[in-house]
Structure 1
Amino acid sequence: MYRNFQASVTKIAPHNILALFRGETEKIISLSIDFDETYITAYLYNEEIKTKNKGIKAFYQSMLKDSFNRLIKPSLLREVRADRKNWADLESINTFEINLRELLLSPPAGMQPTLAIDPGFRTGCKVAVLSETGQFLEYQAIFPHTGAAKQKEAKNTLKNLIQKYEIELIAIGNGTASRETDQFVGEVIKPLENQPIKVIVNESGASIYSASDLAREEFPDLDITVRGAISIGRRLQDPLAELVKIDPKSIGVGQYQHDVDQKLLKKNLEETVESCVNYVGVDLNTASKQLLTFVSGITPTIANNIVSYRDKNGIFNNRKELLKVSKLGPKAYEQAAGFLRIRGGKIP
């Protein structure tokens, strides 16, 4: 596309600018900015040379020409490149913010027992069962795409898990083997009296989270692939609660995000996350520890205690129950209560 590419610097799209600069950086293409040099030199001659003496005039002309070629022209080109790059960065980051906001504010499926599947061919599908609050319950590996015998075994395993935990939602990652796994799951649930709803979930960044220190702290005894499946399931239950655990740049909010100003990108995306949390509030019964820390009055320690209390005692039915959480006193409760929601509660 960019072989012999030409465009006006005022009309070229932001993503084209970023692509061109990336190509130049990787030495795949070379860039040049062409403009009417005679217009500028003529302007300089007319504005700066006032003498009518031919000898002096010729000297001034040669001096201005040399100055233009050595100093003015390179400076102009640098300014134009910097201006266009800065503009492309701002426009692209704005697009990334919009994409991230839409992703974070995706409607949550809510508190329903969920079976999450990270699909795969040769290595099999990793299946994680989550409670209605996102608590990890059980893990299985199935191999539905490696022969009839394995497929039959996988069907039985999946059916047993669905019935054992009364699964209402099935989250399937949209990576490798997603379509085949979706078809397989459809065959499994078709004869069931109470069919769960299956949903394809965007798994961008799940592998980043599953290999992070945060995931290791949360699930120290689980394999990295299991953590990825858990993340996929929780994204369906409450996208905001799960996605705040991941560096916004790793979620996949647009092309060329690694080509823009990284400090500005990080700052703006983090502000977008905070804005989303403040805009919709936090579901107390599905919120992750990381999401709870965005709420006023809740420290990382208190957030961890809330999740531990919820895992041990079940869902919160009333905000007042928060006062039973260790280290969450009346002052912290007063600050946090307005940002916390209880789906289906008497005072949501």
Structure 2
Amino acid sequence: AALKALDPRVFVDERFGLPTVRDIIAELEKPGRDPRPGFKTATFAEGVDDIKDLKPGMLLEGTVTNVAAFGAFVDIGVHQDGLVHVSQLADRFIKDAHEVVKAGDVVKVRVVDVDIKRKRIGLSMRKDGGEGGAPRGGQRDHGGGKPAPRSPAPQRQPEKPSQGAFGAVLAEAMKRK
């Protein structure tokens, strides 16, 4: 009833014309409907309210609060944002964190490290569970998360030098001295 009593012409100014004001009033007449687009928020884990409640390996949901070239800061509901380093944002190489996330994104993270004294939380978004890059030194991962064992290098037997024609003459000359 209050909306029907409004005169749309009263709200017209240099920013909003009569058609716009009428549209707004018409939208307000629809009960229980919010004309704004949907807004997703992170669901924080129950019982995780303080940095002391965090343990490495925990899977949590959080909201990206800030993005820098070196990583993204994520609010996980413990009054201290955690850092997802750029190397932990994806299972592939990322040059800049802005390639993967933006502020406001809801993400799933895994707690990697908790430093209560310095109030630092290390997080990862990698699905492979790895905390570093690819295996190094030419070793490949053959399952189980461990590199294949290296076989010991074959032991070489010392070879007897081949004399050849020049070597034979030189050896003979050395004997005569």
Q: TM-score range by the shorter chain?
A: under 0.3
Q: Calculate the TM-score normalised by the size of structure 2.
A: 0.27
Q: Which structure has the highest strand share of the two?
A: 2
Greater Rg, structure 1 or structure 2?
2
Q: Calculate the TM-score normalised by the size of structure 1.
A: 0.16
Q: Which structure has the highest helix share of the two?
A: 1
